Chain A
Amino acid sequence: KQEVTQIPAALSVPEGENLVLNCSFTDSAIYNLQWFRQDPGKGLTSLLLIQSSQREQTSGRLNASLDKSSGRSTLYIAASQPGDSATYLCAVRPGNTPLVFGKGTRLSVIA
């Protein structure tokens, strides 16, 4: 059974700092991996989608990497801003099955 773990559960950083969020999964047989942002009480906003054949994806200040063989992904946020404060969720698509999510990392960026 696929399980997704995100570390740390919560993170507080000063504005301007670069940071890394970690995601690990137990079964490397995945179609793709997605990183989402969730503001309190709101839905999910897709940030980056990495297909199983890719190693990384970039969007603006965000960079996500995927190491399928070791079951790991990282989300790198450069020059963090208070507006980046949210919960970041990692989810994998293990073949012909729905998304399996981690519990998320709650990020606070302090001005």
Chain B
Amino acid sequence: ETGVTQSPTHLIKTRGQQVTLRCSSQSGHNTVSWYQQALGQGPQFIFQYYREEENGRGNFPPRFSGLQFPNYSSELNVNALELDDSALYLCASSLGGLGGGYEQYFGPGTRLTVT
């Protein structure tokens, strides 16, 4: 069974640029959630994709967008990067969308630094 993988591991961008982060879900999982974790804080929910549709979104602006592909892998796109976007971005996969309370399995994260 393959776990959740994320790429790249680290990324440095300049304010105003755009970035794409990638996530491959665990085998058999149809749901991917993205979280942002600032230094010293707990992860904050960005959005979730279930069977290629966004089915939940946290308090993040529209410049945070995403996609889920037929193989259930996912991308997180952030436009017009701001310094406060510097964080660890975590992807988690699970079954069944937001309902059912299924366990989420997290990837190793992508560390984004905006200068």
CB within 8 Å of B: which residues of A?
4, 31-32, 34, 36, 41-46, 49, 51-52, 89, 91, 93, 95-104
Contacts and interface: CB of A to CB of B under 8 A. Distances in A.
A95 B92 CA distance: 17
Nearest to B46: A98
Contacts of A100: 45
A55 to B, nearest CB: 17
Contact of B101 (A45, A93, A101, A103): A93
Size category, B interface: 20 to 34
Nearest to B48: A98
Contacts, number: 62
Given A4-B42, A51-B101, A98 B33 contact: yes
A103 B40 contact: yes
A83 B110 CA distance: 24
Listed residue (A51, A96, A102, A103) with the most chain B CB atoms within 10 angstroms of its CB: A96
B45 A96 contact: no
B42 A101 contact: yes
B41 A41 contact: no
5 contacts: A43-B90, A46-B105, A49-B103, A98-B33, A104-B42
Contact of B90 (A4, A44, A96): A44
B42 A103 contact: yes
Contacts of A43: 6, 90, 106-109
B99 interface: yes
Contact of A98 (B42, B56, B103, B109): B56
